[in-house]
Amino acid sequence: MSGQILRLEPDPHVAVQRLLPWYLTGRLETAEHDIVETHLAQCPECRAELETERQWQLLHPGHGAQVDVEEGWARMRARLSGQVPATAPAPLDTAMPAPAVRRRGWLPPAWRTPARLPSRAWAAPALLSAGLAAAIVFTLRPAAPVAPLAQYHGLAAPAETSATAVVRFRPDATEAQIRHGLKDSGARLVDGPTVSDAYVVRLPREHYAAALDKLRKEPGVALVEALESASP
Amino acid sequence: MNTAPTPQPSHRPAAAAGGLHDDAEDRRLVACVCAHELAAFESLYRRYHPRLCRFLHRMLRPEHLVEEVLDDTMIVVWNQAERFNGTSKVSTWIFAIAYRKALKALSRHEDPVPDTAEDDADHPAADPAERPDARMSLAQARAAIDTALRTLSADQRAAVELTYFHGFSYPEIAQIVDCPTDTVKTRMFHARKRLKTAFGGQLDDWL
């Protein structure tokens, strides 16, 4: 820290010895370094102390806790994916990241208010838009608090045959790109958007790695992160 | 023996055992984390994981506490990246968060060792008859020092670890532990004194 006023101890030996640890690690500012070096050149007592300090540094234990970074990151990722709002999510058209999507009005008006969703509309898989919106609506019903990820059961295959991943779409992704990406990879939206505008999707476990790859190559996709091991 | 000290090639920071991170890269990553870019956060997490593990292991002890506090620290980094104002290094900022989290964990799980290092009357020198065999290996000496380090207060352990292993300057340590710079020097001075007392001052016997 330049410009720092140096206040030395009345005893120059004590003053220098207090600085020895950082002298040895090379972390003293120029002025203090020069003071220490000048004193050491003239003081055998402090030079001996310096040598003792050097030995202490050599002996300082070099081990630490054996905490696996991969396990740690997997735990962190799971914790981040659980950061979803506890209150009812915003209507879908404001939650989608792309202004272009809203301008196109790709959602029928009825679907923009999930509470008015006809109860059996999700049962029409031939209507892709309806099916997609239904999957979102089913899991984003405003009355229900957001459950931990592990408890979600979407319209896709049961949890044991599917695996989850986090997807973030590009801000300029179109509805067609999003729909194509999800359909082509076999993904089903199950949660989101999170505070970082990410969505959680379920992918077929049998082709998990390939599905992740496909999603990553989609033009509308900005980020894909696997949440589980790729092995079946 | 009156010999001149070994000249230091440079007084500018040299990489300590723990390594000094490229602060410019850290800042770039933090800026991306502000935008909630998960890939950048993962990079930052991996860069700091070994250092934080090492530091927290020194501050705490049970492994599950190390993991818990490390996770809590990095969650703060994720959620509050915009609070990094650039007046310190990123490493100083992250270690400061880790230090506060560690102190909270200590207050919940352990009786803290009081910071009474000024008075070594209660810590007499080791009885020479009880000193380990001088032929003890370096690894055993380090293990014994590890044990002695646990007798220090949390503040003293932090000063020792942040200096010897993580290579922080004493002003940076003052920022991390939020105390005056003179207090850091004092804690370090007394910590070293206490460690030497625990070994009877016969350091050469261990080597």
A76 to B2: CB separation less than 8 angstroms, yes or no: no
The pLDDT score that the predictor gives to residue A140 is 47
Q: Coil, strand, or helix at residue B159?
A: helix
**What ipTM describes this predicted complex?**
0.78
From B1, B53, B185, residue closest to A65, measured CB to CB: B53
A75 to B71: CB separation less than 8 angstroms, yes or no: yes
**Host H or E run for residue A166:** strand A162-169
The pLDDT score that the predictor gives to residue A202 is 81
Segment A172-181, tens digit of pLDDT = 888 888 888 8
Segment B125-154, tens digit of pLDDT = 444 444 445 455 677 777 777 788 888 999
Segment A135-163, tens digit of pLDDT = 444 444 544 444 444 444 445 444 457 77
CA distance, residue B103 to nearest chain A CA (Å): 18
Chain B CB contacts of A79 under 8 Å are: 71, 75
A76 to B71: CB separation less than 8 angstroms, yes or no: yes
CA distance, residue B181 to nearest chain A CA (Å): 11
Of the candidates B64, B63, B92, B94, the one whose C-alpha atom is nearest the C-alpha of residue B78 is: B94
Chain B CB contacts of A75 under 8 Å are: 67, 71
Q: Which residue has the tokens 């973030």?
A: A168
pTM reported for the whole predicted model: 0.58
A197 to B36: CB separation less than 8 angstroms, yes or no: yes
B24 to each of B21, B28, B176, how far by Cα in Å? 9, 6, 19
pLDDT tier at A5 (50, 70, 90 boundaries)? Answer: low
Highest mean pLDDT among A156-165, A178-187, B107-116: A178-187
The pLDDT score that the predictor gives to residue A77 is 92
Chain B CB contacts of A55 under 8 Å are: 203-204, 207
Give the whole-angstrom CA distance, residue A86 versus residue A145: 6
Give the whole-angstrom CA distance, residue A185 versus residue A205: 11
Segment A32-42, tens digit of pLDDT = 999 999 999 99
A26 to B204: CB separation less than 8 angstroms, yes or no: no
pLDDT tier at A20 (50, 70, 90 boundaries)? Answer: very high
For residues A189 and A197, the model is more confident at A189
Q: Which range among A46-50, A198-202, B148-152, B183-187 shows the weakest confidence by mean pLDDT? A: A198-202
Mean pLDDT, to the nearest integer, of A21-29?
94
- DSSP secondary structure, A94-134, as one string: HHSS-HHHHHHT-S-GGGGSGGG--TTGGG-TTSHHHHHHH
For residues A212 and A171, the model is more confident at A212
Segment B1-37, tens digit of pLDDT = 444 444 443 344 444 444 456 899 999 999 999 999 9
CB B166 within 8 A of CB B177: no
pLDDT at B119 over 50: no
Mean of pLDDT over chain A: 69
Q: Which residue has the tokens 């002298």?
A: A23
- DSSP secondary structure, A17-69, as one string: HHHHHHHHTT-S-HHHHHHHHHHHHH-HHHHHHHHHHHHHHHHS--------H
pLDDT tier at A201 (50, 70, 90 boundaries)? Answer: confident
CA distance, residue B34 to nearest chain A CA (Å): 10
Q: Which residue has the tokens 């020895």?
A: A20
From A29, A47, A59, residue closest to B142, measured CB to CB: A59
A55 to B45: CB separation less than 8 angstroms, yes or no: no
Give the whole-angstrom CA distance, residue A121 versus residue A119: 6
Mean of pLDDT over chain B: 79
Q: For residue A193, say if its preceding peptide bond is cis, omega within 30 degrees of 0.
A: yes
pLDDT at A101 over 90: no
A223 to B39: CB separation less than 8 angstroms, yes or no: yes
CA angle, B179 as apex, B176 and B185 as ends, to 5°?
95
